[in-house]
Amino acid sequence: MAEFILRRILQALLVLFVMTVLVFFGIHVIGNPVDLFASSECTKACLDEIMVNLGLDRPVWQQYLIFLGNLAEGDLGRSFTHGVPAMSLIWERFPATLELAVAALVLALGIGLPLGFYAGLRPESILSKVIMALSMIGFSVPIFWIGLILILTFSVYLGWLPAIGRGELVSVLGLEVSFLTLDGLRHLAMPAFTLSLLMMSMVIRLTRAGLREVMTSDYIRFARANGVPEYRVLGWHAMKNLLIPIVTVLGMEFGGVIAFAVVTESIFSWPGVGKMLIDAISVLDRPLIVAYLIFVVTMFVLLNLVIDILYSLLDPRVRLGAGAV
């Protein structure tokens, strides 16, 4: 187990290293951030002064070494545009994104599992065919379009839900959340649903396919032949086998949902990290971009670790060990 985790951390460090090199030199090639955010009255001398202040006057490899030195001390640098530590900006915004992503995950499982189960049990029924067709749409229709249609329908036309922003917050264990207030829920509903659609479609398809396979297996027949009640056969004997592929796929997908909540956050003006990233990229705010990417990579690594542990809990044949990477 310890070796397994250590190996994961080493892999992550390698990925981080390659990623920072790419971003550093990539941004250097694209352009000079100062040109983008300095005010137009700024003279050549004033520009130079800003460059010196931000350390942008040095050769890029020197900048990179300085960055690595600071990183070793846990300092990810200050945002060029906001002038505050990049990490604190991310932490400020992250709870909103996390809440959105978790809400989407809950919706994907809460709606996707029952629908997939139904479609798997009654593959020939009309409703199943409708469910499968909808899940196909979930895969193929772009998120921004769905988001806009939702806004048009529920905000503009029906006027039931607010179109943008995050609702009223309450603090739980130091974390600001909105899902515990009615206003918060009303704001959360559409963006969370939009973000959940892809995952939900996957859950429906995985559940249906998995269930149909599992139901023909001897162990399900054996459980039934022993008179085990149907709710127990489906809800636990079959379910636990189904969850293995679902956890695997959702685990990989969930990181992506957080990292690329960008589109959904932009549509609904959700104040999360995704929106912040877009703003940072448009002004080449390098420390913020790099900090965000480091944050995301770290999150992916942690998430994978959690998935592996969950996986070993679900499937006794999987044991975390030297071989399992």
Partner 1 sequence: MAPVLTLRGLTTVFGKGTQELRALDGVDLTVNAGEIVALVGESGSGKSLTGFSINGLLPANARITGGSIDLSGTDLRTVPAREMRKIRGKEVGMIFQDPMMTLNPVLRVETQMRDALRAHDPLPRAALRERLIAALAEVGIAAPEQRLRAWPHELSGGMRQRVAIATALLHSPKLIIADEPTTALDVTIQGQILALAQKLCKERGTALIWITHDLAVVAGIADRVSVMYAGRVVEEGPVDAVLDAPAHPYTRGLIDSVAANQPKGTRLPMIPGRMPLLSDLPKGCVFAPRCSRRSALCDSTSPPPRATGQGQTVRCHHPLTEPAGALA
CB of 279 to partner 1, least distance (A): 46
CB of 315 to partner 1, least distance (A): 6
Nearer to partner 1, 49 or 315 (CB): 315
List all residues 6 or more positions away from 50 whose beta carbon is below 8 Å from its beta carbon.
Answer: 34, 38, 42, 56
Residue the block writes with tokens 């703003």: 279
CB of 261 to partner 1, least distance (A): 32
CB of 211 to partner 1, least distance (A): 13
Residue the block writes with tokens 């959702």: 250
Task: Let me know: does 100 contact 199? Beta carbons within 8 Å.
Answer: no
Phi, psi for residue 319 in degrees, rounded to 5: -120, 130
Nearer to partner 1, 299 or 314 (CB): 314
Phi, psi for residue 170 in degrees, rounded to 5: -130, 155
Nearer to partner 1, 73 or 230 (CB): 230
What are 264's two structure tokens? 């959904």
CB of 229 to partner 1, least distance (A): 6
Nearer to partner 1, 41 or 124 (CB): 124
Cα 276–chain centre separation: 14
Which amino acid does the sequence have at 84?
V
Nearer to partner 1, 228 or 293 (CB): 228
CB of 217 to partner 1, least distance (A): 7
Distance (Å, whole) CA 71 – CA 69: 5
Distance (Å, whole) CA 51 – CA 310: 48
Which amino acid does the sequence have at 285?
D
CB of 305 to partner 1, least distance (A): 21
Half-sphere exposure of 144 (CA within 13 A, CB side): 6
83 φψ region: left (φ > 0), alpha (ψ -120 to 50), beta (else)? left
Nearer to partner 1, 31 or 235 (CB): 235
CB of 314 to partner 1, least distance (A): 6
Distance (Å, whole) CA 310 – CA 291: 28
Q: CA 215, 217, 218 angle in degrees (round to 5)?
A: 125
Distance (Å, whole) CA 272 – CA 259: 11
Task: Let me know: does 320 contact 313? Beta carbons within 8 Å.
Answer: no
CB of 140 to partner 1, least distance (A): 30
Q: Are strands 170-172 and 175-177 parallel, antiparallel or unpaired?
A: antiparallel
Interface residues with partner 1 (CB under 8 A) are 216-230, 232, 236-237, 240-241, 244, 314-317
